[in-house]
Amino acid sequence: MSSVATAPKKGFDFKAFLANNGALVGLVILCLALFIATPRFLTGPNLLNIGIQVSTIAVMAFGMTFVIVAAGIDLSVGSVAALSAMGSSYAITTAGLPDGLSIPIGLAVGALCGWVTGAMSAYGKLPTFIASLAMLTVVRGLTLVISDGRPISTSSSVSWLGDDLGPIPMPIVILVVSGLLAAFVLNRTVIGKNAFAVGGNTEAARLSGIPVKRVLVTVFVISGVFAALSGMILAGRLDSAQPTLASGYELDAIAAVVIGGASLSGGVGRISGTLIGALVLAVIRNGLNLLSVSAFWQQVVIGAVIAIAVGFDVLRRKNVKH
């Protein structure tokens, strides 16, 4: 009721803006603090470095946003990223398929993995947590089987994903393009709006004629495709597909989505929020590196940040609903 009452206020409602963009405010404060703390933060190379760092997690988290909005969770994205990168490299480098197929094959592998996870939970009635947890292990295992536990060098088109486009690194270009695409699909298409409805209230969506199962499968396919893209960026930067690539990244991706204001119970989430969430994580890591904080302590700080960010969000929601 209070949100309705404050909405028609004239001019720019600063308080409402703060309340709705807590993560962005946090990010700005963080950047200001780092700017003051170290001169090395606000330099071109460092900012590009952050951009490259953030791109893999953010691209993965864009796909994750769809799943979380639909009230699911996808723990398999890190493994899917690895298998996609490995699969695309294997097909070209080892099996000798034409180079042009490399990226399509990678994306198809991601889509297929997502489809399997989605089908397991939609038609097999497994909770998404369990279905994707199973896939996390299975897919990582397949990656090791294909590669025999050794890195495979990437095709030239995947390597290109890790290069520069003029002065700008390709990962940042992909980040921007895929972010815009994800936001468009989430907010403007029937697929995206259906995800919100299913996550908000599955039964109400079903009784309105929304194909709930197909929606669930679709969001996992989207998550798989974005994970594959993320994996290929990572492989492109390294010029090789490592069997342990992106392991553990799923947790960062989930953290980015949640810091960005999405609700794990579904129905709420924004791509811009997810990007900010990913940036918060990347900037903190970067800042702590610049300030020479040990990698061990960094983990402590990041964990605390996740708890604080989500804690604020919970408080805010509680206030809105009085």
Partner 1 sequence: MGNDALLVLDKVCKSFGPVQVIDEVTVEVHAGKVSVLLGENGAGKSTLIKMIAGVHEPDAGRILMDGKAVKIPNTKASEALGIATIHQELNLVPSMTIAENITLGRVPRKFGIINRRAMRQIARDAMDKLGLKLDVDTPVGELGLAQQQLVEIAKALSLDARVLILDEPTAALTKSEIAHLFSVVNTLKAQGVGMVFISHHLDEIAEIGDFVNVLRDGKFIATVPADTEENELVRLMVGRDIDAQFPRVATEPGEQPLLSVKNLSDGMLKDISLEVRPGEVVALAGLMGAGRTELIRAIAGADKYSSGSVAVNGKKLASFDVAAATRAGIGHVPEDRKTQGLVLDASVAENIGYATMASTAKSGLVDRKGQKARAQQVAERLRIRMGSIDAPIRSLSGGNQQKAVFGRWFTAGAKVLLLDEPTRGVDVGAKVEIYELINEITASGGCVLMASSELPEVLGMSDRVLVMSQGRIAGELATEEATQDAIMSLAVSNVHREEEMGTK
Number of residues that bind partner 1 (CB under 8 A): 30
* Residues within window 250-289 making contact with partner 1, judged by CB under 8 A: 267-268
Instruction: Check: CB of residue 44 under 8 Å from CB of residue 236.
Output: no
Q: Does residue number 43 form part of the binding site for partner 1 (CB under 8 A)?
A: no
CA 78-159-114 angle, to 5 degrees, is 30
Pick from 47, 48, 119, 191 the residue near partner 1 by CB under 8 A. 191
Q: What single-letter DSSP state applies at residue 100?
A: G
Q: Does residue number 204 form part of the binding site for partner 1 (CB under 8 A)?
A: yes
Q: Does residue number 119 form part of the binding site for partner 1 (CB under 8 A)?
A: no
Q: Does residue number 208 form part of the binding site for partner 1 (CB under 8 A)?
A: yes
Q: Which residues contact 297 (CB under 8 A, 6 or more apart)?
A: 288
Instruction: Check: CB of residue 120 under 8 Å from CB of residue 113.
Output: no
Distance CA 24, CA 19 (A): 10
Q: Does residue number 211 form part of the binding site for partner 1 (CB under 8 A)?
A: yes
Pick from 21, 30, 153, 206 the residue near partner 1 by CB under 8 A. 206
CB-CB neighbours of 30 under 10 Å: 16
Query: Binding segment for partner 1 among 119-127, 202-210, 279-287, 304-312 (CB under 8 A)?
Result: 202-210
Q: How far is CA 62 from the centre of its chain?
A: 4
Q: Does residue number 193 form part of the binding site for partner 1 (CB under 8 A)?
A: yes
Pick from 25, 126, 134, 210 the residue near partner 1 by CB under 8 A. 210
Pick from 6, 43, 94, 137 the residue near partner 1 by CB under 8 A. 6
In the three-class reduction of DSSP (H, G, I as helix; E, B as strand; rest coil), residue 96 is classed as: coil
Shortest distance in whole angstroms from residue 221 CB to partner 1: 15
Structure tokens at 86: 């490995």
Structure tokens at 263: 């609700």
Residues near partner 1 (CB under 8 A): 1-7, 188-191, 193-194, 196-197, 200-201, 203-211, 267-268, 321-322
